[in-house]
A and B are shown apart, each in its own frame.
Chain A
Amino acid sequence: MRPEDFEFLSRMLKRRSGLTLNPDKVYLLESRLTPLARRRGLDGIDALVAELRRTNSETLAREITDAMTTNESFFFRDRTPFDIFERQVLPMLRQRRAAGKRVRIWCAACSTGQEPYSLAMILKNQEAQWRGWSIEIIGTDIARPVLKKAEAGLYSQFEVQRGLPIQMLMKYFTQVGDQWQLAPEIRSMVKFKEFNLLESFAPLGHFDVIYCRNVLIYFDQPTKKEVLERMRKIMPSDGVLFLGAAETVLGITDAFRPVRGQRGMYLPADAEETVVAAAGGA
């Protein structure tokens, strides 16, 4: 593709979604946008960019952003962050939130919903222990199409086999044609919302746990820092943040600290020692 077209697209993507696209990612643009161009009856990515320049269409700009920011997701992806949730985070919350019996969890950039639904299944498995509690799980993403899929809770045979134990499939899914649908009792535990991480978090409220995995890798340093520091402001000092396996706060912000021995788990830098100990990082 032409360098000026690349420039044009990457500026637009950065402005709209924070996505930073280096020139070595041209292949990504081509593989994601060629199908979009074809669907619109266009020849390829050059024609697509020409169309966008000519019409300045908001719909097209949005479709391009959606296509570029949609990412693969698996149930129980990387496992560890879910094991930690079950073994460390939930017992800690049950103790520390016993007075208000209210917990709020945010899956930022949840794509097609596997991450919040994995958390919902873990909670459902220990339902008896949470009777009388209000537990909110909110999944947000910038891309509208993935949220629609998330809400439907419909997954392909491939998707239900990557990370989902067969026992969970048997317990919480029913077969619908050649797809598998999550049970209404799990779907109703998660609320999905269209949301851009570059915007103010104020409308979302405060969270005890934030999962923000494999999103920051697409942002440049200043954007990463800014997003993390705003996340710190919407959680209490005993809140918990999860980042992706290839991500870290180190060298980006002092707002959070990693927890020794718990990969991907971060606590506010000013968390009390008792919280650090409860998190397993004493």
Chain B
Amino acid sequence: MKSCLVVDDSKVIRRVARRILEEMNFEIREAADGKDALESCSEKMPDVVLLDWNMPVMDGLEFLKRVRALPNVRQPIVVFCTTENDMSHIRQAMEAGADEYIMKPFDREIIEAKFSQVGLM
């Protein structure tokens, strides 16, 4: 079973994402901001991170940069999932090392399509 860390400051979004991903047979952990997510990663690196952008404490982009800078770890696949839907944000995310990018609102079909593009299904 592959593991997915869902990072979003909204509990509702985390719950929706969890339900979809559990049906897709992922083992889910949750984090409410980038710092929380980094700690979770240092305990156990997930196979994939579903990552919000705007969060308190540490935002998604900062989290991504820090994870990508970690030496000697098995790098996770990172899929952004954010309301930021303009080209400059998308470029910034991809340049920082994201693998895919979901613009909210999302549904099961979009998550499945994006996860299959990065070879998770």
Seen from chain A, the residues whose Cβ lies within 8 Å of a Cβ on chain B are: 74, 79, 157-158, 161-163, 165-167, 169-170, 174-175
Contact among B90, B106, B116 with A166 in the assembled complex (CB-CB below 8 Å):
B90
* Among A74, A157, A161, A162: residue with most chain B CB under 10 A: A161
Are A162 and B110 in contact (CB-based, < 8 A)? yes
Interface residues of B in 77-121 (CB under 8 A from A): 85-87, 90-91, 94, 100-103, 106-107, 109-110, 113-114, 116-117
Proximity string of chain B (38-77) to chain A, C-beta cutoff 8 Å, 1 when within and 0 when not: 0000000000000000000000000000000000000000
Are B85 and A163 in contact (CB-based, < 8 A)? no
- Bound-state CA distance A175–B110 (Å) is 19
- Bound-state CA distance A33–B12 (Å) is 35
List B contacts of A157 (CB < 8 A).
85, 103
Seen from chain B, the residues whose Cβ lies within 8 Å of a Cβ on chain A are: 85-87, 90-91, 94, 100-103, 106-107, 109-110, 113-114, 116-117
The total number of A-B Cβ pairs within 8 Å is 33
List A contacts of B87 (CB < 8 A).
170, 174-175
Given known contacts A165-B100, A166-B100, what 17 new A-B pairs fall within 8 Å (CB)?
A: A74-B113, A79-B116, A157-B85, A158-B107, A161-B103, A161-B113, A162-B110, A163-B113, A165-B117, A166-B94, A166-B101, A166-B114, A167-B94, A170-B87, A170-B90, A174-B87, A175-B86
- Bound-state CA distance A244–B11 (Å) is 39
| Contact of A169 with B114 at beta-carbon distance under 8 Å, contacts A157-B85, A161-B102 already known | no
List B contacts of A79 (CB < 8 A).
116
Please give me the 7 A-B residue pairs with the lowest Cβ-Cβ distance, nearest first: A166-B101, A161-B110, A162-B113, A165-B117, A163-B113, A166-B100, A157-B103
List B contacts of A174 (CB < 8 A).
87
